[in-house]
Amino acid sequence: MRRASVAGCVLVLASGVAGAGGDTRLVDVSSEPEDATVYVDDINDGIVCNQTPCKIQAPIGKSITVIFQKDGYTPEFVEYTAAKRGKLKPIKSVLTAAIGTIVLTDAAFKGGKILIDDVEKGNAPQRVDVPAGPHRVVVVIKGRAVADDLVDVAAKTDTAVHGITPTTVAETDGGGGGGGGGSEELGVDVGSEPVKVVKQPEPTGPHRRWIEVGGDFDVGFRQFTYDHAQNLSATESEAGQAMAGPSLELWPIELAGGSHFRGLSIFGKVLFGLNHQPVLGSDGMPAGPTTFWGNIEVDLRHRWFIGDESWVAIEGGFVRDQLEFNAPSTTLKKQVPGADYRSIKLGVRAATTLGALEPFAALEGRIVQSGGDLETNFASGGDITGAHAAVGASVHAGPVFFRAQAAITYYGWTFTAKSGQTAMDPSAEGATDLVEVLSFVIGLAH
């Protein structure tokens, strides 16, 4: 009889345990996006699942509210009832981003570049939708920050950002008698007690470049053609002429922190010929002269910014293109078109910024002051006209920059015959001098 009682108790306990385990079932829980926190019925009852996807115990036949929460998203509430038998339907949630709006319509922002969390969002004025939460907002005009603020954006709410303006606060005497003694703190009276406000340095934002120092390497090609040449070769071509040298561009007003003509710069470069190629005769053998190239340029430039991404510049200065020859005699030197162009240049240059890439184009006219041996050997007078065009792009990686450029320069000649010139002397009515140059510059900017 005792054995039967014990057996009965064991059966009752076993059935009770089985009944308790059967009150819930394990169900899959997921969300889009993942890594949401899951609560059941009340968030005060604690976290049921730290990160989705996961599994939770759901009571059989009882409706529960599964709560999904994730930063930057609206909480989601899902009603769920676990069936007693059969395959359980998983609990899924598609979370909706909690969106607020940053309003940048301050008149001081017009045309400025907007950066939110260091990501460009276009130009002001503008309303920018962002996930709810803290965001750093910067507005830059011509390289200077006119706003730099950390804002906490609430969902479905407009949050306005305003420009940086000076704040006037009254200095206190430090609480009776003694002066402040040159303290960097300012006092503002609120009620009976002064509140200390630390004077913040004026934000200046990133400055534009004020110096560029580079090393230039150029490869040149020349095609010279006489008009109605007599007693000399009608054409002269040179290919692969190499030159190298330093270049410098300095923005003195930007360096000095002035408020006017900040786009004014001084540019200069000097290039020296690296290879002296022999001039070949009609038989393909060296005829005696060898090439001698060089270049000097000094410019004064002023650039104006268009928005914060593009600029246009007017430039003028002096340029010297040496396309000369070394020859063992004057007679041989007259057989080759040695020119030393010294010109006043006036031109325009424009560029835009595409991330780290800055493509540019330039066009200029050249008022040639002298042409060297070619002018004195074959004419008693005449005209020389010049023009120059270039396209290229610069790439900046921190302080290092690389620039590649393709340029073409045109010089046109009209000769006037020298008095006493005979039919045996070299002569021509005019000439065209076309010079193409590929330039590569690597340097440092600050």
- β partners of residue 345: 317, 366
Q: What is the pLDDT of residue 381?
A: 64
Instruction: Work out the end-to-end distance of the chain between its first and last CA atoms, rounded to an integer number of angstroms.
Output: 100
Domain chopping of the chain, boundaries: 23-97, 98-166+198-206, 211-445
Whether residue 140 is predicted with pLDDT greater than 60 in this model: the reply is yes
Global pTM value: 0.56
Q: What is the pLDDT of residue 108?
A: 82
Whether residue 404 is predicted with pLDDT greater than 90 in this model: the reply is yes
CATH number for the domain formed by residue range(s) 211-445: 2.40.128.100
Q: Which of 153-162, 268-277, 333-342 has the lowest mean pLDDT?
A: 153-162
Q: What is the pLDDT of residue 99?
A: 85
Rounded Cα–Cα distance for residues 184 and 253 (Å): 30
Integer angstrom CA distances of residue 287 from 240, 280, 283, 334, 428: 19, 5, 9, 13, 21
Fold of 98-166+198-206: Immunoglobulin-like (2.60.40)
98-166+198-206 has the same fold as 23-97: yes
Digit-coded pLDDT (tens) for 104-129: 888 888 888 889 988 888 888 888 88
Most confident of 203-212, 330-339, 406-415: 406-415
By the 8 A CB rule, do 138 and 148 touch?
yes
The candidate with the shortest Cα–Cα distance to 341, out of 408, 290, 410, 389, is: 410
**Domain 23-97 classification at class level:** mainly beta
Digit-coded pLDDT (tens) for 416-440: 877 666 677 777 888 999 999 999 9
Residue 337 vs residue 231, higher pLDDT: 337
Whether residue 376 is predicted with pLDDT greater than 90 in this model: the reply is no
